[in-house]
């Protein structure tokens, strides 16, 4: 009888009920979808960001901007191969470190394919730091390659497709400026939204020793390093300034003598930005849901007014206040639940179907955690309860004499 | 059954204070069939509401079935309405979306009667008012007289000692009205105390006592009653036969 009555009420107020249901439906799906997309975009951006490397410091040679020990400012500071070993020796908290020589517009030849590419001469530690990871069947450059100045190379996945197409590249030979190099690995596909010298998927990596020999480098283009642990990160950066400042005679506080790009710092900014963004999204959907709740409360007030005669009668027949209260509360909860459940299913449907839309590259994969789902549902129930309580209380406190007169 | 002494009831309608009852003393014994008559605004309905524990008096004492009710709270009053009193209204007040069966079932649900027992009771009650073949009908599918019968069956659900009826024949044609009063008479003979408001002289005639109410007071002087009834008959242009 309860349920029938609820449907009867909803039929009696078709448009209003439909709009209210839609409000709750929309509020719920917005809450869940915005939450899920916020989550997806965040995760995607983090992943993209990690394409460059997690918590690494990229250091470039610069020019002094302070006078130091009688030396003028504006002196160029260069980084050399031996600085890497110096830093390694002097900074105990330093983790992996790699020099990087950059060579632009180098001709690569594989069979009939000839193209111009960028070549990076790096150490074995470079791969893990920069998330340049070998796909199945291959490996990154190793210590032996570096020590023996081997003519081996590791290629980005895009470059591999250009050179080899579908065929397997590992073990094959590529000519670099006419010198044959053996491919030891191909990079696994990764997202990368920032770089300092082009995307890794288009590059060819070779041991820095081989690169120095072939191209005659004496000065590093970049040095990439990472602290052993994140809490030593800033410490290691300061130390690097001190050690190199002592060697090259510049003020350790002169941040322009050596440029450092700190991805940990970026990550921190990025994280707080995204949390703000997600909270903003949640507030919007929360507001939508509240508006839906107000709609439900409104319709229930109308229902109470319309049915005050019936309520009066029930009270006259001996119904207790609690009975009337529960009846109206249940009715509101039912409407909220119906709207909420359809909204929830709609949102989940979209989240399920989303991967087939092929938009992953732009917004990531939306996902919702159990905690978020439970929180959304409880929030909805809370709103339903609040929206139902006040009209129900009004119904229960009607005066039977007056409501019967109407 | 009913013992009212010095019952007063005042309403505050904005700035004006209206006193609907100005000290009613009324005693109705068990097994009486009483009609309350009087012009509009004389306080009949207010008296009925107080008698039915739907309203509480501003002043005065009310004892129902030996129990003083002025001090009871809302929940206790609801119990009394459910168990001791049956209401019959002029406008029937049936739930339009519920069947006759469900309408009669309501007070039994509020009285927490077990399902099986409840259903048997509903069938019995509707049989008693002659509607055994109308169980599944909704009010819209019933005639006025039938609706009032359903309402009476509902009023009798929990075997109340007191039946309160506010113009039960007011919305009915004379034929159906007569049948309803016949039913009341039958109930009265089987021991139910009945208190009924009516405007119909012919209906009042059939009760065993008439209480005449005027300006919030029970008129006791015989001459006043005669005068009242005379003017009443005149106003209503009723057939005195």
Task: Report how far residue A386's alpha carbon sits from residue A392's, in angstroms, rounded to the nearest whole number.
Answer: 10
pLDDT of A365 > 80? The answer is: no
Strands A152-155 and A222-227: unpaired
For residue B241, what pLDDT is reported? 34
Helices (H) and strands (E) in chain B, counts: 8, 10
Say which of A1, A309, A320 has its CB closest to residue B78. Answer: A320
Chains A–B, number of C-beta pairs less than 8 Å apart: 53
Q: Test B110 with A314 for CB contact under 8 angstroms.
A: yes
Q: Test A318 with B79 for CB contact under 8 angstroms.
A: yes
For residue A5, what pLDDT is reported? 66
Bridge partners of B164, per DSSP, are B87, B195
Which residues in chain A touch residue B43, judged by CB atoms under 8 angstroms apart?
Answer: none
For residue B240, what pLDDT is reported? 39
Chain segment A232-280, per-residue pLDDT in tens: 999 999 999 999 999 999 999 998 999 999 888 878 888 888 888 888 8
Chain segment A125-180, per-residue pLDDT in tens: 999 999 899 998 999 999 999 999 999 999 999 999 999 999 999 999 999 999 99
Q: Does A406 touch chain B (CB under 8 A)?
A: no
**Both structure tokens of B82:** 């459910």
A353 CB-near residues (< 8 Å, 6+ apart):
none
Q: Does A5 touch chain B (CB under 8 A)?
A: yes
Say which of B49, B97, B111 has its CB closest to residue A318. Answer: B111
CA-to-CA separations, B216 to B5, B12, B44, B47, in angstroms, rounded: 13, 16, 8, 9
For residue A384, what pLDDT is reported? 84
DSSP class of residue A189 equals P
pLDDT of B231 > 50? The answer is: yes
A74 CB-near residues (< 8 Å, 6+ apart):
A63, A64, A65
Sign of CA dihedral B51, B57, B59, B63: positive
SS3 of residue A291 by DSSP: helix
Q: Where are the domains of chain A?
A: 2-49+268-405, 63-93+228-256, 95-227
Q: Where are the domains of chain B?
A: 32-56+74-236
Range B32-56+74-236: architecture per CATH: 3-Layer(aba) Sandwich (3.40)
Q: Does A319 touch chain B (CB under 8 A)?
A: yes
pLDDT of A356 > 80? The answer is: no
C-alpha A233: how far from its chain's center?
22
Predicted interface score ipTM higher than 0.95: no
Say which of A317, A320, A404 has its CB closest to residue B106. Answer: A317
Place of tokens 């390093």: A225
**Both structure tokens of B223:** 């001459």
Say which of B83, B95, B110 has its CB closest to residue A319. Answer: B110
Chain A residues 191-230 with a CB less than 8 Å from chain B: none
| Most A-contacting residue of B56, B95, B152 (CB-CB within 10 A), to test interface | B95
Q: Test B87 with A317 for CB contact under 8 angstroms.
A: yes
| Most confident stretch, A15-24, A304-313, B219-228 | A304-313
DSSP class of residue A357 equals G
Among candidate residues B65, B82, B89, B77, the one with its CA nearest the CA of residue B4: B65
Q: Which residues of B206-225 are buried (b: 16+ CB within 10 A; e: fewer)?
A: bbeebbbbbebbbbeeeeeb
Mean pLDDT of A58-72: 91
User: Considering only alpha carbons, which residue of chain A is nearest residue B47?
Assistant: A401
Residue A45 near residue A364, CB atoms below 8 Å: yes
Burial label for A361, CB within 10 Å (0-12, 13-18, 19+), is exposed
Chain segment B32-50, per-residue pLDDT in tens: 999 998 888 888 989 999 9
DSSP class of residue A135 equals P
């Amino acid at each position: 009888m309860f349920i029938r009555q609820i449907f009867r009420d909803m039929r009696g107020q078709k448009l209003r009920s439909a709009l209210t249901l839609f409000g709750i439906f929309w509020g719920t799906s917005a809450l869940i979808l915005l939450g899920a997309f916020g989550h997806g975009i965040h995760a995607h951006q983090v992943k993209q960001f990690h394409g460059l490397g997690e918590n690494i410091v990229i250091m470039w040679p610069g020019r002094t901007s302070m006078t130091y020990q009688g030396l003028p400012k504006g002196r160029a500071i260069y980084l050399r191969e031996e600085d890497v070993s110096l830093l390694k020796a002097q900074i105990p908290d330093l983790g992996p470190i790699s020099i990087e020589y950059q060579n632009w517009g180098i001709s690569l030849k594989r069979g009939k394919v000839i193209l111009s590419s960028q070549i990076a001469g790096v150490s074995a530690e470079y791969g893990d730091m920069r998330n340049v990871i070998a796909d199945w069947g291959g490996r990154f450059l190793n210590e032996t390659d570096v020590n023996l100045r081997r003519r081996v190379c590791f290629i980005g996945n895009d470059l591999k497709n250009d050179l080899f197409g579908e065929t397997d590249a590992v073990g094959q030979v590529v000519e670099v400026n006419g010198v044959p190099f053996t491919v030891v690995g191909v990079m696994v596909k990764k997202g990368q939204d920032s770089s300092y010298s082009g995307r890794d998927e288009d590059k060819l990596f070779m041991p820095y020793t081989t690169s120095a020999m072939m191209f005659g480098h004496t000065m590093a283009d970049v040095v990439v390093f990472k602290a052993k642990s994140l809490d030593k990160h800033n410490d290691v950066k300061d130390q690097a300034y001190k050690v190199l400042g002592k060697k090259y005679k510049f003020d350790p506080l002169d941040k322009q003598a050596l440029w450092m790009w700190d991805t940990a710092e970026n990550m921190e900014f990025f994280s707080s930005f995204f949390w703000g963004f997600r909270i903003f999204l949640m507030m919007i959907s929360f507001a939508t849901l509240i508006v839906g709740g107000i709609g439900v409360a409104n319709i229930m007030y109308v229902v109470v007014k319309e049915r005050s005669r019936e309520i009066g009668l029930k009270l006259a027949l001996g119904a207790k206040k609690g009975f009337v209260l529960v009846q109206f509360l249940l009715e509101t909860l039912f409407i909220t639940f119906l709207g909420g459940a359809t909204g929830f299913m709609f949102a989940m449907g979209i989240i399920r179907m989303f991967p087939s839309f092929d938009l992953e590259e732009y917004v990531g994969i939306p996902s919702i955690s159990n905690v978020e789902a439970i929180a959304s549902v409880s929030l909805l129930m809370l709103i339903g309860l609040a929206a139902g309580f006040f009209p129900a209380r009004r119904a229960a406190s009607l005066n039977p004499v007056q409501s019967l007169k109407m | 059954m009913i013992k009212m002494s010095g019952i007063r009831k005042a309403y505050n309608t904005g700035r004006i204070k209206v006193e609907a009852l100005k000290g009613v003393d009324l005693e109705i014994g068990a097994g009486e069939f009483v009609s309350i008559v009087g012009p509009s605004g004389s306080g009949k309905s207010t008296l009925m509401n107080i008698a039915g524990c739907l309203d509480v008096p501003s002043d005065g004492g009310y004892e129902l079935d030996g129990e003083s009710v002025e001090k009871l709270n809302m929940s206790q009053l609801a119990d009394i309405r459910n168990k001791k009193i049956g209401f019959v209204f002029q406008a029937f007040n049936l739930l339009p979306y519920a069947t006759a069966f469900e309408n009669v079932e309501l007070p039994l649900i509020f009285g927490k009667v077990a399902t099986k027992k409840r259903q048997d009771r509903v069938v019995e009650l509707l049989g008693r008012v002659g509607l055994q073949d109308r169980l599944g009908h909704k009010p819209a599918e019933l005639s006025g007289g039938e609706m009032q019968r359903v309402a009476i069956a509902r009023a009798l659900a929990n075997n109340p000692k007191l039946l309160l009826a506010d113009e039960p024949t007011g919305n009915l044609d004379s034929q159906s009205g007569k049948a309803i009063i016949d039913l009341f008479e039958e109930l009265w003979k089987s021991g139910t105390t009945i208190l009924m408001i009516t405007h119909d002289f012919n209906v009042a005639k059939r009760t065993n006592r008439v209480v005449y109410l005027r300006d919030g007071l029970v008129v006791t002087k015989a001459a006043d009653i005669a005068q009242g009834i005379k003017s009443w008959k005149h106003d209503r242009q009723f057939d005195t036969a």
